């Protein structure tokens, strides 16, 4: 009989940790909470209340370091990692364990939804293009409210470009005409305004966080399906390039062979690094839509709004290239960043860790069965597009 272990790393536990643990204590043989130096050992206390076992660290070792602390405690044949702001649906582990019976599968990622419900908004108009900008632009969106609260930064979907900030510190976004975007709402009847006016009617739906990840040319993975309606269009199993670290499930034997997440990364892009290592070792990643995890996005870290998050993500993207990418891809990007070392914190951090990255690349390459150029040719931009059409309405719970 296959045994299962779940590792949850928690540094700054909030009201999201309890439902996270409650969702897995009944389906795993053991749940290990790595208390990453939480204030007052709050994560350890919540673990004990939920029936999980705590491993306490004296300092914050980051997500990658936390997983490394938890792994020696895990006794299961199958080992899963779950973000402390995620909630696993029933059957998450059992469904993944069935796919991991294939020794060629390195890891399984479930369907991951954003928590809560979203109101679909679709704006009309013709796209236009600013000089030197290839993006199709619509109207600038200064404000979106739901139930009276400003949520323009929390909206997702193909109908919006990335968040921008003007000189006054106000945050706004360009729209993309003809494509939907999604506004987080508390209920089906929550009033929504777009720049002070009610938008055209739209359904209230669930929205995808990811259905695996795809590899971009510069070596950083992006979430496949992010911001699209979860209305059945992501219900087919498949093989993405990799996974986001929200809720991957591994065979313990594979982790022993390839190693866990790279501890020097601390946090961010350690998942892409691991997926590249698996691909170079000739292994596959499976997407399992039969298991659903909901994710309260960036509840712990604060997401890309936090300066430290952006710095770690940029540095680790380059370390990931140094360890796994074809030289023709890695060298110019690393050289460009290092050229800014006099005034760039990312470049200074990169320079300190680059000798480690090069040394570990040499040791890992002895286990490669595929060439990095071959992996890049097969996976770059594969899965980078998906159905972004308006949602099919879904039943809203009473």
- Cβ density class 72-91: b for 16+ within 10 Å, e for less: eebebbbbbbbbbbbbbbee
Mean pLDDT to the nearest integer, 61-73: 97
The three-point CA angle 275-279-285 to 5° equals 65
* pLDDT tier, 298 (very low <50, low <70, confident <90, very high otherwise): low
Which CATH code for domain 1-111+211-398?
A: 3.90.550.10
Distance CA 310, CA 321 (A): 17
Q: What is the predicted pLDDT for the residue at 189?
A: 83
- Which region among 31-35, 162-166, 248-252, 393-397 has the lowest average model confidence (pLDDT)? 393-397
Classify the C-alpha dihedral 194-200-202-204 as positive or negative: positive
Tens digits of residue pLDDT in 192-209? 999 999 999 999 999 999
Spans of all domains in the chain: 1-111+211-398, 117-205
Specify the residue for token string 């739209």: 202
The pTM for the full model equals 0.94
Higher per-residue confidence, 300 vs 134? 134
- Per the prediction, the chain carries an average pLDDT of 94
Distance CA 207, CA 184 (A): 9
């Amino acid at each position: 009989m296959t045994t299962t272990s779940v590792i949850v790393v928690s540094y700054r536990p909030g009201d999201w940790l309890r439902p996270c643990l409650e969702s897995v204590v009944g389906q795993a043989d053991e749940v290990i909470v790595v208390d990453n130096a939480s204030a007052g050992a709050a994560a350890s206390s919540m673990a004990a209340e939920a029936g999980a076992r705590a491993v306490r660290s004296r300092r914050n070792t980051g997500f990658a370091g936390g997983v490394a602390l938890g792994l020696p405690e895990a006794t299961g044949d199958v080992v899963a990692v779950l973000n402390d702001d995620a909630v696993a649906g029933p059957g998450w582990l059992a469904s993944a364990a069935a796919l991991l019976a294939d020794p060629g599968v390195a890891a399984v990622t479930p369907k991951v939804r954003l928590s809560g419900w979203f109101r679909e908004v679709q704006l009309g108009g013709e796209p236009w293009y600013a000089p030197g900008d290839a993006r199709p632009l619509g109207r600038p969106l200064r404000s979106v409210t739901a139930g009276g609260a400003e949520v323009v930064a929390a909206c997702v979907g193909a109908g919006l470009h990335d968040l921008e900030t003007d000189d006054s510190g106000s945050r706004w976004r360009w729209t993309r005409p003809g494509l939907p975007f999604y506004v987080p709402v508390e209920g089906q009847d929550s009033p929504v305004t777009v720049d002070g006016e009610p938008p055209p009617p739209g359904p209230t739906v669930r929205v995808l966080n990811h259905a695996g990840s795809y590899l971009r040319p510069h070596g950083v993975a992006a979430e496949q399906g992010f911001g699209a309606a979860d209305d059945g269009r992501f219900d087919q199993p498949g093989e993405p390039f990799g996974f986001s670290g929200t809720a991957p499930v591994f065979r313990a034997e594979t982790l022993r062979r390839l190693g866990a997440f790279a501890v020097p990364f601390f946090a961010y892009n350690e998942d892409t690094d691991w997926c590249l290592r698996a691909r170079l070792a000739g292994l596959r990643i499976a997407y399992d839509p039969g298991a659903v995890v909901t994710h309260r996005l960036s509840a712990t870290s604060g997401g890309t709004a936090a300066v430290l998050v952006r710095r770690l993500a940029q540095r680790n993207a380059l370390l990931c290239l140094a360890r796994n990418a074809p030289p023709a891809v890695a060298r110019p990007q690393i050289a460009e960043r290092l050229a800014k070392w006099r005034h760039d914190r990312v470049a200074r951090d990169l320079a300190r860790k680059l000798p480690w990255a090069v040394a570990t690349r040499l040791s890992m390459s002895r286990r490669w069965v595929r060439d990095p150029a071959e992996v890049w040719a097969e996976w770059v931009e594969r899965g980078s597009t998906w159905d972004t059409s308006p949602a099919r309405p879904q039943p809203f719970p009473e």
